[in-house]
Amino acid sequence: MPEPRPILKPAGNRVTFDNVPKHKNHNHVKTPPRPRNLPPQIPNAVTESNVSLDSTCSPDSCSSNSTPKTVNPATATASRRSVNRNGFKPVRVVPDAVDVATTVSPPPKRCEWITPHSDPLYTAFHDEEWGVPVNNDRKLFELLVFSQALAEHSWSTILNQRDIFRKLFENFDPSSVAQFTEKKLLTLKRNDSSLLSEPKLRAIVENAKQLLKVQREFGSFSNYCWRFVNHKPIRNEFRYGRQVPAKTPKAEVISKDMMRRGFQCVGPTVVYSFLQVAGLVNDHLLTCFRHQECNVTTKNEFKTEVKESNKLQNETSELR
């Protein structure tokens, strides 16, 4: 019998052997033909698992040696649609939550002479005291002394020695400072020579004496100072530090009146510094957060202060 010869048929390239006898009683069971539109059968192990066919059954993902291929968007879309039609929903990967950084509010805008490198005491003084209207006589006397000391020291130096100033000048009690003798002045000069010069020390003692006279005449040193501005702070609206003056005509008027009364070391520059720090003048820049906060003092508060001062003045006159 001749050897069987393989024949390639056009229908399916299935190899058959010619001249092979067909037996009628052959135990071969024919597989029934499969409908064309049915999807391929999938094992139960795959259907029971919650895994996408796109991610587990694709040739690219199963073959570790395969080269990555460029995926056509149209093909990928068609593949997803076919999976959805077959009843399998792709697994959606949800990324981990990303922590959102907490937003930090920027520091408040201050006057331009306060920088990030400024002394913390100076910054706190600017935020809490400078430009706040003051009506207390002891506080006004303290700020007048500090304004005089600015001719020899900076604000940072003065504020760092503030406790020393208060100790030397009896907590800025004018009646106590006015009683300083020549021996007391020499002791201050000898023990604290770096604090203030001798002329400044003598001027402070003399100014305390004159302040007591002003209290007797006007009821209080506060009433004397605030009457120059009609008991209402002068509110300047400077936008830049270069616009803030060193002295003004108002400061010159006050300086002349104080010198006429016997005050010493009270030139127009010293007086204007005193007006600024005591709140008689609001020179915080418009861009500074303290500009508006220092405008909270109302006319009623000053009217009350005037009434109290006038009452005290009348009582003093009656005692005379």
Condensed to tens digits (0 to 9), the pLDDT of residues 18-51 reads: 454 555 455 555 555 555 555 555 555 444 444 4
pLDDT at 279 over 60: yes
Residue 286's φ and ψ, nearest 5 degrees, are -60, -30
Condensed to tens digits (0 to 9), the pLDDT of residues 66-108 reads: 445 555 555 555 555 555 555 555 556 555 554 545 566 777 8
Q: Which residues are annotated as a binding site?
A: 111, 126, 284, 288
* 121 located within any domain: no
> At 226, which CATH number?
1.10.340.30
* 264 located within any domain: yes
Q: Which residues are annotated as a binding site for Zn(2+)?
A: 111, 126, 284, 288
- 277, 17, 7: which is closest to 131 by C-alpha? 277
Better-scored residue on pLDDT, 255 or 185: 255
Give the type of residue at 153: H
Residue 65 has what pLDDT?
47
Left if phi > 0, otherwise alpha if psi is -120 to 50, otherwise beta: which for 127?
A: alpha
* 95 located within any domain: no
Domain count, the chain: 1
* 254 located within any domain: yes
Residue 143 has what pLDDT?
97
* 286 located within any domain: yes
* 147 located within any domain: yes
Residue 138 domain boundaries? 128-319
* 296 located within any domain: yes
* 28 located within any domain: no
